[in-house]
Amino acid sequence: MLRVISYNLREDHASGELTALVRGNDLDVLCLQEADTDKLPAELGNLHMADSTKRNRLGLALYYNRERFTALSTQTFALKKSMHDRVMRPAHERLIGTRLTDLRDDRDLIVASFHAAPLTALNSLRREQIRAAHEQLRTMGEGIPELMVGDYNYPLFQNRLNRTVKESGYELSLSDRRTYTRYKFFRGHFDFATSMGLRIDSVETLKRGVSDHLPILIRASWLDAAPLETPAASLPA
């Protein structure tokens, strides 16, 4: 099983929670959004930083367990910009992906941290960013299983998103509880996962810290592994 946490740090306010988060959850991969990447350590517990974005005010980073994985390559990608991006310039790159080899099974997979445009943009733009992100990840290895986690900023009309994702050959998996609670109207699932070639066994919303987003823990397995009794939450087609 693969254990991955995704966490939006709310402009780096929650960075002080990372060491305890890693130590308390036996992680394989940690994906971050809205981090001050200049201040992030190279090591967090047993995790090593694969890479981080360099041109973002709200940065992305990805850590992995070197005892289980070898990192073959890491790439960052710019996606179509919203008006907010053009004016405020919070994030030039909204995707970072790492191709890993699992030393236990001698199989490769791609794990990515993703941060969609904010709610000031249209859902259609976010769908385009998600589609483009999947396309970019496939350039790192066609046919290799993928797991993209992060802040999708998509709390409403998720059935439309689910259909779009399925048409591209991916699965959308929501967590067991909402992941954002700052504003009453926009409470809901902002942080989730899309995947291809993997089985998502569960997505769990963890305890809230100082961020307005709650971290999520994704448990994923190879498709030929024995399934868990409790599957991840999903939307109807």
pTM of the shown model: 0.91
225-152-18-71 Cα dihedral, nearest 10 degrees: 50
pLDDT given for residue 226 in this prediction:
76
Position 218 scores a pLDDT of 98
What pLDDT shows up at residue 210? 96
Residue 90: pLDDT over 60: no
Q: Decide if domain 2-222 falls under CATH 3.60.10.10.
A: yes
Q: Are 2 and 201 in contact (CB under 8 A)?
A: no
Q: What is the mean pLDDT of the chain?
A: 90
